Structure 1
Amino acid sequence: MAVNGIASIGECMIELSGQTGANWRMGFAGDTFNTLWALHALSPDQPATYVSAFGDDPFSRDQIAFFAGNGIGVGNSPVIAGARPGLYAITLTGAERAFTYWRGDAAARQLASDPAALAKSLENQALVYFSGITLAILDAAARKTLLSAVASARKAGSLVAFDPNYRPRLWPSREAAQAAITEALQVCDIALPTFPDEQMLFGDETPEGTAKRLGKLTGEVVVKNGEQPALIAASGASQTVDAVHVAAPVDTTGAGDSFNGGYLAARLAGHAPADAARRAHKVAAAVVQVRGALAPFETLRAAFDS
């Protein structure tokens, strides 16, 4: 059977972004959803599915309705009675952001609670994407269920992409994160790490060191490094692709996630890794010029095609 969808697995939260004074803007965002948002904008002909778990509260219903209004489904994701979404607030100093979270009992922590439903959500997907945050919100048994489902989707023909996205606060120990992320890399085709994260987690001294280590586990590695060039290692060769400088960024929230979406959309469309990275840098540059993690689809498409 042909594979033609895009699935992203993880936690989409309520996002509160500061405006002026005591006013806050509410939206929905989260690392794997931000990536799917960009992917969907740039690959509109491929059905998009956000695989998670949801509560039965008004905010969860609004979240699912927001997805649907933008052409994104939720597959067979379970609805958990009495559960609700996690929440985070963004505070900005200039364009640099800080986050405060309330997510300990979020519904998404139960995204692998129904293995059959999870497997069904991943059927017939051209791409399956997840992150280290997806792993971190799950207990050990649920992580095993998730990785088994991803491995099965890969065996059935899905391309699997993974961003380690290390967040120390979400893990009981550095060693636990190392073990889980290393296991996840073994079931993926494309790794999209960020160098400062890898330096913190594994002690890598250079992006080249990160690419070499991850290249032993997966075939295509793209090491992001903020405003520095991205390093691509694939098919036994490596090269760097310069980032797009933005003189006056507005909000850096979601830049790396959107880079991932741009890169994966380009690779699905048949672009070579270097061209995919160039397009991804343009997408990320567009995102840091708007507030919040989700740029309008038109903004993403214009950057991707420029």
Structure 2
Amino acid sequence: MARGGVAAVGECMLELSGGDGSTWRMGYAGDTFNTLWTLRALVPQDLPTDYVTAFGDDPFSAGQKDFFARHGIGTAASPAIPGRRPGLYAITLQGAERSFTYWRGDSAARSLADDPAILEKSLEKRELIYFSGITLAILEAPARKTLIDALARARSAGSRIAFDPNYRSRLWPSAQTAREAVAAALSITDIALPTFPDEAELFGDETPKATAERLARAGIVEIAVKNGAEATHLRANGEEASIAATAVADPVDTTGAGDSFNGAYLAARLAGDTPRRAATRAHRVAAAVIRVHGALAPFSVLRDAFAGA
């Protein structure tokens, strides 16, 4: 049976970047969308690639859909919610390091799991489905369970599930709620792509190796623990390795680096690369991304870095 390509689940926001006090560039970004953008650039063009979310009925939502379509990204059965609109965030930079200001209280994506039948239709027959802790955090508890249940059924039907816990404390009512949600997500995960500082903050892990060991005890067989400019700690099928990051002497903007690592890693695994090779290629892609402004690097930049790794 032919499978329906790859899907990522979450929230794509309006992104304001490059502000100089009066003029800003507007784009589209969000952690799982950034990862899917990289996947779209790197997987075969005939492989369907869909972003599973919910849209508003406003002009900005229409603009999002047009942007997706122009770049070969579908939206599966994602609904349009009357009266809702996309969330918005602005990036401010100090050197290459960034900070964010958000406006997302009535984001349409918060309703992405309100209709279980529509959600399940969007996820059926997928080779790979990717989601994150931010996807979980924007949902109310019942919708969170609906999403986990839908992913579990997709996994039972043959989909591989990839998950980045991507902990952002301001999105959660408590750390305990986040830990419980992440544990539920890990129970249906095949590939875990955490970031070590997030795991240290939420779970108290002392090293990336400790993070990998904890996730292995939870039953995850493939784990890549990112750590910024430091090496990624890889654990796959019981074997461990440290994969050095690609050094960047002239970083421009670190926005989306970890997301692009995830997308490149998953693209490489879909192409049949070993986890070691996938992590090496992913570091090259992430290094290319931090040399450009904004979360979404041009497809040509992503492809050149991926091919050269």
What TM-score bracket applies, with the shorter chain setting the length? over 0.9
Show the 5 A alignment for 1:44-83: 44-83=45-84
Shift of 1:248: 1.0
Q: Would you say how many aligned residue pairs link Structure 1 and Structure 2?
A: 306
> TM-score if structure 2 supplies the norm length?
0.98
Shift of 1:45: 2.8
What residue number does 2:281 align with? 279
* Aligned match for 1:243, one of 239, 245, 252: 245
Whether the 8 Å CA contact 1:3–1:157 is kept in 2: the answer is no
Matched, 1:259 2:261: yes
Shift of 1:281: 0.2
- Match of 1:283, as an amino acid? V
Shift of 1:19: 3.8
Distance 1:35 1:271 in 2: 18
Show the 5 A alignment for 1:1-306: 1-43=1-43, 44-217=45-218, 218-306=220-308
- Match of 2:283, as an amino acid? H
Q: Percent identity, please.
A: 65
| TM-superposition CA deviations, 1:148-204 (whole Å, max 9, x none) | 111111111111000000000000000000000011011010000000000000000
| TM-superposition CA deviations, 1:119-153 (whole Å, max 9, x none) | 00001111000000000000110011000111111
Whether the 8 Å CA contact 1:196–1:225 is kept in 2: the answer is yes
- What secondary structure, in the 3-state scheme, does the structure 1 residue paired with 2:101 have? strand
Whether the 8 Å CA contact 2:200–2:206 is kept in 1: the answer is yes
Whether the 8 Å CA contact 2:12–2:28 is kept in 1: the answer is yes
| TM-superposition CA deviations, 1:79-113 (whole Å, max 9, x none) | 00010000000000010000000001100000001
Shift of 1:22: 1.4
- Match of 2:253, as an amino acid? D
| 4+ long deviations beyond 6 Å | none
| Aligned-residue RMSD, C-alpha | 0.7
Shift of 1:216: 1.7
Whether the 8 Å CA contact 2:90–2:100 is kept in 1: the answer is yes
Distance 1:171 1:33 in 2: 20
Whether the 8 Å CA contact 2:4–2:124 is kept in 1: the answer is no
Shift of 1:219: 1.1
Distance 2:108 2:234 in 1: 36
- Match of 2:151, as an amino acid? V
Whether the 8 Å CA contact 1:279–1:304 is kept in 2: the answer is yes
Shift of 1:4: 4.1
> TM-score if structure 1 supplies the norm length?
0.99
Identify unmatched segments of 5+ residues in structure 1: none
- What secondary structure, in the 3-state scheme, does the structure 2 residue paired with 1:161 have? strand
Identify unmatched segments of 5+ residues in structure 2: none
Distance 1:64 1:251 in 2: 26
